[in-house]
Amino acid sequence: MEKIEQANKIAVGRMLDSDPVLVDVRPAGEIISGLADGVILHAGPPIGWDRMCGPMRGAITGAIVLEGWAGDLAAAGKLAQSGDISFQPNHHFDAVGPMTGLITPSMPVMVVENRKFGNRAFCTLNEGLGKVMRFGGNDGEVLNRLRWLASDLAPALSRALADREGLPLKAIIARGLSMGDEMHQRNIACTGLVLRELAPSLARTSTDPETLAGLLSFIGGNDQFFLNIAMAMGKAIMDPVRGVDGSCVVTAMSRNGTDFGIRVSGTGDQWFTAPVEMPNGLYFPGFSERDANPDMGDSTIVETMGLGGFAMAAAPAVAGFVGAGSAGDALNYTRSMLEITVGRNPEWTIPALDFTGVPTGIDIRKVLETGLAPVINTGIAHREPGVGQVGAGIVRAPMACFEQALEAFAAGMGVGGVS
């Protein structure tokens, strides 16, 4: 097993060596190769229209109207099931998206460059709370906000990032971990840190005071603005970890609302899928688990790199928000994830654990040995199209994904059992 240990060390070394920098915000159709008219990228492993969940379908009809491929939601629904739209996973296009995770050509995406390895990753801009497409929203309010992101916010961010030659992200995460963020369900600190970094450049490159005030209000008023940056960063960090011969470190965890899929370094781009589970969480007033859609989104890239549920100890306030218990429970989530990871990240540490590094590099063997599935902090969407978020909670990656992955990994290594 010496070879596996070595390979996993290389895999985690690439995670730690990464240097992710937010460099630009561009229209997706311009910067994502292969994203043409008639193509819609979605969260999670591959899936066809027939097996998609309600909010995913709702978001898709909205996106078709946004792109002008159909005149209204009804016509969009027909087009979606006609077979004339190509549905593809974000992960196959260097991209990630939260919840439904849709990316269509006119949507702006943030570009994170991993300066150590030269690769780039993409994620849409966070739409804010309320009725939004990532939770299945698709009405006029949702589409108009998406149009404003493209017409106003994206060009302003692009100019600001050019003015300061990009925004290095690793140090922001390090600070955010000492300020109560775990970068999945809590991004208040990192959103503020980004705003304070970008505000001078936004001012310097602004076109008029009122528009600038609107941009600053939108970013500052959206506690989850940083989530999408963290996701693009996660993808930029994890992509160079793919294909390390002999490594059983997880390179992606992702859900489309129907299936949960994982990818493992040594088995390349193969998906190992199982039915998604229901989050265990707290619901907004008026909603209950009966309204909830199962787990969804590419945002689990955050846990894949050691944040989110893995960094719960940094964010005792999140533990309450997702119904995970007390401050002591928050510490225990992180401690238990240290049991299934190859190492710790010495640059991303948690003060409440006396500066222990976050658990880094999920080893599928350890997941199966300990029976501890990766813990994920997640938002909960309504199961019907067009409604939106109804709560937040904790969910586990399904064990079946890891069982399949280990089997394929072992076969590839030419051994019967590798644990």
Tell me which residues touch a second copy (CB under 8 A): 175, 178-180, 188-189, 191-193, 195-197, 199-201, 203-206, 209-210, 212-214, 216-217, 219-220, 316-317, 320, 326-328, 351-355
Q: At what angle do helices 54-67 and 140-148 cross, to 10 degrees?
A: 60
Q: Which residues of 110-136 are buried (b: 16+ CB within 10 A; e: fewer)?
A: bbbbbeebebbbbbbbbbbeebbbbbb
Segments of 171-265 assigned E as strands:
250-256, 259-264
Q: To which residue do tokens 């240097």 refer? A: 19
Identity of the residue, 29 or 128, whose beta carbon is nearer to a second copy in the bound complex: 128
- Contact, 190 vs 308, CB < 8 A? no
- Contact, 280 vs 395, CB < 8 A? yes
- Rounded least distance, CB 79 to a second copy, Å: 40
What one-character-per-residue DSSP string does 268-279 give? Answer: TT--EEEEPPPP
Identity of the residue, 106 or 206, whose beta carbon is nearer to a second copy in the bound complex: 206
- Rounded least distance, CB 356 to a second copy, Å: 10
Which residues have a Cβ under 8 Å from the Cβ of 263 and sit 6 or more positions away?
A: 91, 242, 250, 251, 252, 269, 270, 271, 272
H/E segment holding residue 376: strand 375-381
Identity of the residue, 128 or 268, whose beta carbon is nearer to a second copy in the bound complex: 128
Cα–Cα dist 235/212, whole Å: 30
- Contact, 11 vs 244, CB < 8 A? yes
- Rounded least distance, CB 133 to a second copy, Å: 25
Identity of the residue, 155 or 214, whose beta carbon is nearer to a second copy in the bound complex: 214
- Rounded least distance, CB 190 to a second copy, Å: 10
- Rounded least distance, CB 161 to a second copy, Å: 15
- Rounded least distance, CB 20 to a second copy, Å: 21
Identity of the residue, 178 or 336, whose beta carbon is nearer to a second copy in the bound complex: 178
Identity of the residue, 111 or 189, whose beta carbon is nearer to a second copy in the bound complex: 189
